[in-house]
Amino acid sequence: MSESNSIIIKDLTLRYGKGPVTQIEQIPADEVLSEPVVWLAGHISGRLPENSKFEFIHAPKGRKTIVRPLPVDRGRFASTIELLNGTNEVTFRITDSDDKVLSQKCFTLYYKSAFREWNETVFIAFILALIIRSLVLQAFWIPTGSMEPTLLGEKRDPFTNKLERSGDRILVNKFAYLADFTLDGRLPFLPKVWFKLPKRGDIIVFKYPDKEVANPPRDFIKRVIGLPGDSVKIIDGVTFINGNPLQEPYIAQPPWQDYETAVPNDSLFVMGDNRNNSADSRTWGMMPLANLKGQAIFLYWPLKSGPLLRAGPIRSYEHQPIPGSDGKISQNPNGSAPAEESR
């Protein structure tokens, strides 16, 4: 800023909307105005030389600069301007006949329209929703009966196909076991940070390990039965882990088919609670830890089934420790919603 000793632009004030007249020097440097039309006024001390120019310059960031002369009446001047979104550089300037600056006042005004504010709010909300859905909490729907009686799937009339019961709606904690910064594979160059392994008896959601990579991804929901390194046997309807029988009060009925396998160190063995009506690790093999999405923690719909309240926490079954089950990850498993099971 350059000023003459005898000519000074001073007492600059601003008013917008229905607010009071405010000295520009008293406006915080980072204040964002909510009204586009601003009234500006001020004084000039001293007498303007002959052929001098008093100009108002409005330079919105990234837009064309507006320069216009301002009339002065008894040392007073006033002007209205319409701000544009973002930064608006404003200058009052007096120059002589040789374009030498005799006095000038420069300041910056920031404006954000309601439309832009709304768009930014929606955008931020979208990003937060994406992060929450990918990292923290996600809703799923249970369309089949593979987890009954713990979680109920859809029920239809076998003759009319009319929907008699909607599947349960649940919330899955995606932060229970790991932080997936890849956002479900959208950012594959970012890491997955593991906190812990699922426990035996946890109900988990995972990406179905489909051998046909061209198929669209599906999310399944099952209960953890075998941990890494376990041996699993099913004999006469009883599940044995490392030779120890497993108490399973949550199943619909004992499995009718015998089975035997060993769980690799990078996988889990999972089964549905409706043992005789569930496609699970007995059918398609182990659940890779890299496919794990989270833990089912809350049933939020339906609220009731008849007189009984159904909405509430989905609790894991706390199995007693089994000898030979360390449940450790031998190496960090790095892997990249209708499910048969959850959607």
Q: Which of 222, 293, 316, 342 is catalytic?
A: 222
79 annotated active-site: no
Q: Cβ(142)–Cβ(342) under 8 Å?
A: yes
- The first and second tokens of residue 282, run together, are 């007995």
Residue 281 DSSP one-character state:
H
Q: Active site residue: 134, 146, 267, 278, which one?
A: 146
Q: Is 21 exposed, middle or buried (0-12, 13-18, 19+ CB in 10 A)?
A: exposed
Those residues with Cβ within 8 angstroms of residue 303's Cβ, 6 or more apart along the chain or in another chain: 309, 310, 311
Burial environment of residue 97 by CB neighbours within 10 A (0 to 12, 13 to 18, 19 or more): exposed
User: Token pair for residue 160?
Assistant: 């009319």
The residue among 1, 3, 24, 4 whose CA lies nearest residue 12 is 24
DSSP 276: G
- Which runs of consecutive H residues, i.e. helices, occur in the chain? 114-131, 281-284
d(CA 140, CA 293): 12
**Annotation marks residue 146 as catalytic:** yes
- Start-to-end C-alpha separation, the chain: 64
CB 225 within 8 A of CB 259: no
Residues labelled as active-site residues:
146, 222
